[in-house]
């Protein structure tokens, strides 16, 4: 499926070696940002993410409902997120949605660097009217999705709701993220999906947060998160 993939220079890419404070205590990188691009015969995507942002977003994928979900993801995770995507929408939205998930996962993994000092785990329970969604994640390096979300209808506007899972599979796999998403209640597919995106964003925000008690320390008993 993929004919070409290129990575642009990361925005202020992290050094793998941690900067040292005068006291000798390792300090976190001042910038956890990355920019990635992906070009195939099906899509052309450029994406930028700042894990320590304020929720500023600039989203244009050509898929209005998906734009709305990515905007919610950035705003509620407090990630600065910019996505410019062009895809073969004359076929359908599958390639665009999946490839944005791939690039977002790559960018998050890159921005995290060696993961020293991060909280690693995060979870969030998000209500939206009658819908209630749970997301829990572990930045384990073992990318996988466990998805139990019931959607009453398959189409919202012109968006195929089965693509939510495709997006999350691609995102989790490329971010090296173990991700669980479950719907605990819900009747309206829009509410369920939007609550899912918000829950994933908030869980990820908690997981990537730097814990000042373990700055410079890898949160793993085996010494690796890969």
| Higher-scoring residue by pLDDT: 20, 31 | 31
Q: Is residue 223 part of a domain?
A: no
Tell me the percentage of the chain whose pLDDT exceeds 70: 87
What is 201-223 written as a DSSP string?
A: HHHHHHHHSB-GGGTT--S-SSS
Q: Is residue 219 part of a domain?
A: no
Q: Check pLDDT > 80 for residue 147.
A: yes
Q: Is residue 7 part of a domain?
A: no
Instruction: Give the model confidence (pLDDT) of 88-117 as tens digits.
Output: 999 999 999 999 999 999 999 999 999 999
Instruction: Give the model confidence (pLDDT) of 78-88 as tens digits.
Output: 999 999 999 99
pLDDT of residue 199: 98
Question: Total structural domains in the chain?
Answer: 1
Q: Tell which residue, 193, 112, 106, has the closest CA to residue 149.
A: 193
pLDDT band per the 50, 70, 90 thresholds, residue 226? confident
Q: Is residue 224 part of a domain?
A: no
Both tokens of 95, joined, read 């390639």
Give the DSSP letter of residue 6.
B
pLDDT of residue 30: 61
Mean pLDDT of 147-159: 95
Tell me the three-class secondary structure of 103-129, residue by residue. Answer: HHHHHHHHHHCCCCCECCEEEEEEEEC
Instruction: Give the model confidence (pLDDT) of 108-144 as tens digits.
Output: 999 999 999 999 999 999 999 999 999 999 999 999 9
d(CA 143, CA 58): 26
Q: Tell which residue, 149, 158, 188, has the closest CA to residue 64.
A: 158
Residue range of the domain that includes 121: 19-214
Q: Is residue 1 part of a domain?
A: no
d(CA 47, CA 1): 20
Q: Tell which residue, 69, 42, 71, has the closest CA to residue 133.
A: 69
What is the torsion angle, in degrees rounded to the nearest 10, for the CA atoms of residue 72, residue 32, residue 84 and residue 166? -60
Q: Check pLDDT > 90 for residue 27.
A: no
- The span from the first CA to the last CA of the chain, in angstroms, equals 26
Both tokens of 57, joined, read 């977003």
CATH number at 68 reads 3.30.230.40
d(CA 33, CA 22): 25
d(CA 193, CA 111): 26
pLDDT band per the 50, 70, 90 thresholds, residue 189? very high
Instruction: Give the model confidence (pLDDT) of 161-188 as tens digits.
Output: 999 999 999 999 999 999 999 999 999 9
pLDDT of residue 165: 98
Q: Check pLDDT > 80 for residue 24.
A: no
Q: Check pLDDT > 70 for residue 15.
A: no
Q: Tell which residue, 21, 51, 47, 50, has the closest CA to residue 36.
A: 47
pLDDT band per the 50, 70, 90 thresholds, residue 2? very low
d(CA 162, CA 156): 11
| Higher-scoring residue by pLDDT: 15, 81 | 81
pLDDT of residue 176: 96
Q: Is residue 25 part of a domain?
A: yes
Q: Is residue 67 part of a domain?
A: yes
pTM of the model: 0.86
Q: Tell which residue, 142, 135, 137, 136, has the closest CA to residue 192.
A: 135
Q: Is residue 10 part of a domain?
A: no
């Amino acid at each position: 499926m993929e004919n070409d993939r290129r990575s642009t220079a990361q925005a202020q890419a992290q050094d793998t070696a941690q900067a040292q404070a005068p006291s000798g205590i390792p300090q976190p990188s001042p910038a956890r940002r990355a920019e990635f691009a992906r070009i195939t015969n099906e899509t052309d995507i450029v994406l930028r993410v700042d894990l320590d942002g304020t929720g500023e977003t600039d989203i244009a994928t050509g898929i209005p409902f998906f734009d709305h979900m990515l905007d919610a993801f950035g705003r509620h995770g407090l990630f600065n997120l910019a996505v410019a995507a062009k895809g073969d929408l004359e076929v359908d939205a599958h390639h665009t949605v999946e490839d944005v998930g791939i690039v977002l996962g790559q960018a998050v993994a890159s921005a995290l660097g060696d993961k020293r000092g991060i909280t690693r785990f995060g979870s969030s329970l998000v209500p939206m009217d009658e819908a209630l969604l749970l997301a829990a994640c572990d930045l384990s390096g073992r990318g996988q999705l466990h998805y139990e979300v019931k959607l009453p209808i398959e189409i919202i506007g012109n968006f195929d709701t089965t693509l939510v899972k495709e997006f999350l599979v691609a995102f989790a796999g490329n971010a090296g993220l173990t991700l669980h998403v479950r719907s605990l209640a819900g009747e309206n597919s829009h509410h369920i999906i939007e609550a899912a995106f918000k829950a994933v964003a908030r869980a990820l925000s908690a997981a990537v947060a730097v814990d000042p008690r373990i700055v410079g320390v890898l949160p793993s008993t085996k010494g690796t998160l890969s």
